[in-house]
Amino acid sequence: MREIGSDYNMSDSLYSGFVRDFGWRKSQVSASDMVLAVLALLQKDVWANELNMAHIKTSGFFAAYDALSQFSVLRMGIQGAQHLQQLVVGQGISMLERQAVKTLRVFRLAILGDLESTSSHIFGSPFALRQLALFLMQTLRERSKSAHARLPFIIAGPINNTESQDVDKLLVLGITPLDYPLIQPHINAPFNHSTYAGKSRNHFGLVFEQVAGEVGAEARQGFFDSSAMEIRRSDMSAFVDKLRRHL
């Protein structure tokens, strides 16, 4: 890759960093690969069946913990991360070809349907949905040099849970590009303005909460990532319309 990457405009495909050596018979693992493997293991219950790993009963959290010291578990996480990335690229290309990403005035919007693909349930988790959004953002940014290339991104997909009360809900995720300007100061919010300090911050957690309250949407923020929210499908249109006025 180092020798031929520049010929394909991929000179930055590899970068130096920390690596861990598990022994002379095993490959070195970079810090970035470790992160992706551990994150994939946290979502193990979502993709384990597709890689014939359902027989491994260790939960996602404990599998991720074991991967820090057990190479066999880490290798399983690496396989899971590769599988997730393949699904992300396949789903992303399909959405781009169908022009499923809509460009609005202040953000881009993509909503996955229930029958997007046979692996659509994968994107019912915040991690996989975020990976898909980042892929779409980066690809669209490379293809366009206009001002729209740096718009924030809103993506929504069916909830992974198949319980009856969750069938009619969407998982909504908001992502702010690193160079997106500060959120406009006209927002009347009951929180300190320092919450929005810094261009690299994700502003959508508090904005989602405020907008959902204003439109009376049935929503829930129960994830570690505050920029992820569950919302009822019937409230999505009003939620997006109100969100356009806040950004």
Residue 21: alpha-carbon gap to chain centroid: 29
Give pLDDT, residue 116: 54
pTM of the model: 0.78
89 near 117, Cβ under 8 Å?
no
Look at the block and give the residue holding tokens 């929005």: 196
pLDDT tens-digit map of 55-100? 566 677 888 888 888 888 898 889 889 988 998 999 999 999 998 8
Which token pair is 53? 């790993």
228-232 sheet: strands from edge to edge: 101-103, 108-111, 153-158, 169-175, 228-232, 219-220
Residues in the chain where the model's pLDDT stays below 50: 163-164, 181-199
Alpha-carbon distance of 131 to 87, in angstroms, equals: 10
